[in-house]
């Protein structure tokens, strides 16, 4: 017996679909209770029912009618061929069945948001975010989100027969749980500080908003901001608006989303405007770079797309994934789920979008080199290095060699730049005790990898207060958590470090 379609406006759901990490099989409340306990493959009757419901859902909800018709005709013809025994038997196993159908539909028209979802994964989504309970709410449904099925989480709610409920989120403490891969202040040139955040997804939960407000407060003294979306598979529209709002002092039209009303099927226009906050005055003036790749998809692309169109950011990396539609979820018979594109986001000025073609970066570079490129470009843009005289530049370059030797455990390079008469002192911030550091112990510490950090974004340095007088130079160097007051002496073979008074950066 056919069941009614259930609309699901996804939250942080989608990245879980194809990761293979969800293994706790629990019943989908709106379906037969024992479904996920079934071991046997799908019957032909079950396959036919899913195919027909999927075709009807696409016709009813897909944003582009002519493409919807192509998909539906294909699925309905497939159903007829099955009934007439004119088609080879489809895979019986649920995952292989959905994979086969998805591959076939992508051949008709490429849309990575469109997919059939196997019951176990769909059931796990509901269990994880809704405690397996049947949705119930008075609130109207909303579909102001975007996401990819393969890699992204988003943050709307679950809709049941056109009504929306708030998900039961199981909170944790790790950054990964809120879609943040990495965060920190970076300095590679020793002259400029970069506030850096890398996302796996863009969420708009209260927890994420609090975190971003705190992060941007920390970045208030940074010279530039880098938002790294190279591994970001998507997110929701509210998250895009919230993140964008840090970079404009006045309400600014980012993009337009066109959606099909669930009842009337008429197109509804939704304008997306920034909402300036108390930090906008600070960050509206800071250079912004966005790193992208072929994995950058959907809402992540929306952020890059709007910032590029408004000439507010420089986009660096590779062409993005091309997911310019926004999708909703629909529950089909037997616990299957369907992701269907129900909206389209575009440039309000010229109507352009990035669906199927992606966003071309302003600077096309090998994706793994995008961060290095962004940092290197800003060294040139800031012009701080050009203000050094020849002697100061010589000291600057020498200290950079020292830093790289320390961070890479290069004892040979360190041996060349540490004077034979080197004397070092380290002051412990907690106890206040002073410890002597000999040349031999510094070389031993270098070789042992004491300066090595597996997270290379934290190989930071700030080089300042360079002073040169005859054959003596002094410089202040900040490495991660330590401050070094260094003295250099000009030898026959070049400069050498002869003294280093080191203290903890956060000294009590």
What's the pLDDT at 173? 54
* Of 111-120, 126-135, 423-432, minimum mean pLDDT range: 126-135
Structure tokens at 162: 């056109």
Segment 171-194 mean pLDDT: 88
Taking the CB of residue 499, how many other CB atoms lie within 10 A of it?
A: 17
What's the pLDDT at 456? 83
Segment 48-62 mean pLDDT: 94
Q: How far apart are CA 498 and CA 420, in angstroms?
A: 8
Provide, rounded to the nearest whole percent, the portion of the chain with pLDDT above 90: 69
The model's confidence at residue 26, banded by pLDDT at 50, 70 and 90, is very low
**pLDDT higher than threshold 90 for residue 143:** no
Q: How far apart are CA 361 and CA 491, in angstroms?
A: 48
Closest by CA position to 228, among listed 172, 300, 150, 130: 300
Rg (CA), the chain: 28
Strands 337-346 vs 145-147: parallel, antiparallel or unpaired = unpaired
Segment 91-117 mean pLDDT: 93
User: 136, exposed or middle or buried, with CB in 10 Å at 0-12, 13-18, 19+?
Assistant: exposed
What's the pLDDT at 85? 84
Closest by CA position to 276, among listed 243, 322, 311, 324: 243
What's the pLDDT at 15? 32
* Ordered domains of the chain (ranges, CATH): 6-163 (no CATH), 175-326+340-382 (3.90.226.10), 388-504 (3.10.450.50)
Segment 463-489 mean pLDDT: 95
Dump pLDDT digits (tens) for 330-362.
889 889 999 899 999 999 999 999 999 999 999
Confidence (pTM): 0.80
* Alpha carbon distances (Å) from 202 to 181, 316, 367: 11, 19, 20
Tally of residues, the chain: 508
**DSSP β-bridge partners for residue 256:** 271, 346
- What single string gives the DSSP state of each residue in 57-103? HHHHH-SSHHHHHHHHHHHHHHHHHHHTT-SPPPP-SHHHHHHHHHH
Dump pLDDT digits (tens) for 263-291.
777 889 999 999 999 999 999 999 999 99
Q: Assess contact for 191 and 379: CB atoms under 8 A.
A: yes
What's the pLDDT at 88? 80
* Alpha carbon distances (Å) from 81 to 50, 77, 95: 15, 6, 21
Strands 314-317 vs 288-292: parallel, antiparallel or unpaired = parallel
- What single string gives the DSSP state of each residue in 4-15? --EEE--SS-GG
Dump pLDDT digits (tens) for 239-271.
999 999 999 999 999 999 998 877 777 889 999
Q: Assess contact for 321 and 295: CB atoms under 8 A.
A: yes
Q: How far apart are CA 228 and CA 138, in angstroms?
A: 38
**pLDDT higher than threshold 60 for residue 374:** yes
- Strand-by-strand arrangement of the 288-292 sheet: 180-186, 194-199, 224-228, 288-292, 314-317, 363-364
The model's confidence at residue 59, banded by pLDDT at 50, 70 and 90, is very high
For residues 321 and 146, the model is more confident at 321
What's the pLDDT at 94? 93
Dump pLDDT digits (tens) for 191-234.
999 999 999 999 999 999 999 999 999 999 999 999 999 999 99
Q: How far apart are CA 298 and CA 236, in angstroms?
A: 9
**pLDDT higher than threshold 80 for residue 459:** yes
The model's confidence at residue 32, banded by pLDDT at 50, 70 and 90, is very low
Structure tokens at 451: 């300066």
Provide, rounded to the nearest whole percent, the portion of the chain with pLDDT above 70: 82
For residues 456 and 65, the model is more confident at 65
- DSSP code for 42: P
What are the residue ranges of helices labelled H in 234-356?
A: 237-244, 280-283, 299-309
């Amino acid at each position: 017996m056919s069941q009614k379609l259930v609309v699901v406006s996804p939250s942080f759901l989608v990245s879980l679909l194809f990761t293979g990490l969800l293994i706790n099989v629990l019943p989908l409340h709106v379906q037969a209770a024992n479904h996920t306990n079934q071991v046997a493959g799908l019957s032909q009757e079950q396959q036919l029912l899913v195919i027909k419901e999927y075709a009807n859902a696409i016709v009813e909800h897909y944003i582009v009618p002519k493409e919807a018709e192509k998909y539906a005709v294909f699925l309905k013809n497939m159903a007829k061929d099955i009934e007439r025994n004119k088609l080879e038997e489809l895979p019986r196993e649920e995952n292989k069945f959905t994979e086969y159908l998805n591959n076939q539909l992508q051949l008709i028209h490429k849309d990575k948001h469109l997919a059939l979802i196997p019951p176990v994964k769909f059931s796990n989504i509901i269990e994880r975010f809704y405690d397996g309970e049947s949705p119930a709410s008075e609130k109207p449904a909303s579909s102001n989100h975007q996401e990819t099925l393969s890699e992204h989480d988003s943050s709307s709610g679950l809709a049941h027969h056109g009504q929306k409920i708030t998900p039961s989120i199981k909170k944790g403490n790790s950054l990964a749980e809120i879609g943040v891969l990495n965060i920190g202040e970076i300095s590679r040139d020793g002259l400029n500080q970069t506030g850096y955040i890398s996302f796996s997804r863009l969420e708009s939960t209260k927890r994420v908003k609090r975190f971003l407000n705190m992060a941007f407060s920390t970045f208030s003294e940074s010279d530039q901001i880098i938002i790294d979306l190279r591994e970001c598979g998507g997110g929701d529209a509210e998250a895009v608006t919230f993140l964008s709002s840090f970079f404009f002092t006045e309400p600014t039209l980012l993009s337009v989303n066109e959606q099909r009303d669930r009842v009337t099927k008429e197109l509804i226009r939704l304008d997306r405007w920034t909402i300036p906050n108390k930090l906008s005055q600070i960050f509206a003036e800071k250079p912004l770079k966005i790193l992208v790749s072929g994995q950058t998809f959907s809402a992540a692309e929306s952020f890059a797309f709007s910032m590029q169109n408004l000439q507010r950011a420089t986009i660096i990396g590779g062409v993005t994934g091309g997911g310019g539609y926004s999708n909703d979820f629909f529950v089909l018979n037997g616990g299957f789920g369907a992701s269907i594109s129900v909206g389209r986001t575009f440039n309000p000025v010229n109507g352009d979008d990035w669906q199927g073609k992606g966003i071309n970066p302003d600077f096309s570079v090998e994706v793994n080199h995008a961060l290095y490129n962004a940092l290197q470009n800003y060294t040139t843009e800031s012009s701080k290095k050009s203000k050094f005289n020849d002697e100061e530049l010589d000291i600057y370059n020498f200290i950079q060699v020292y830093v790289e030797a320390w961070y890479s455990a290069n004892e040979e390079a360190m041996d060349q730049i540490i004077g034979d008469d080197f004397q070092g002192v380290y002051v412990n911030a907690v106890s206040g005790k002073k410890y002597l550091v000999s040349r031999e112990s510094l070389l031993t510490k270098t070789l042992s990898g004491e300066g090595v950090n597996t997270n290379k974004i934290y190989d930071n340095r700030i080089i300042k207060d360079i002073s040169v007088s005859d054959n003596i130079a002094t410089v202040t160097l900040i490495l991660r958590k330590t401050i070094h007051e260094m003295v250099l002496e000009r030898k026959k073979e070049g400069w050498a470090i002869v003294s280093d008074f080191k203290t903890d950066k956060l000294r009590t």
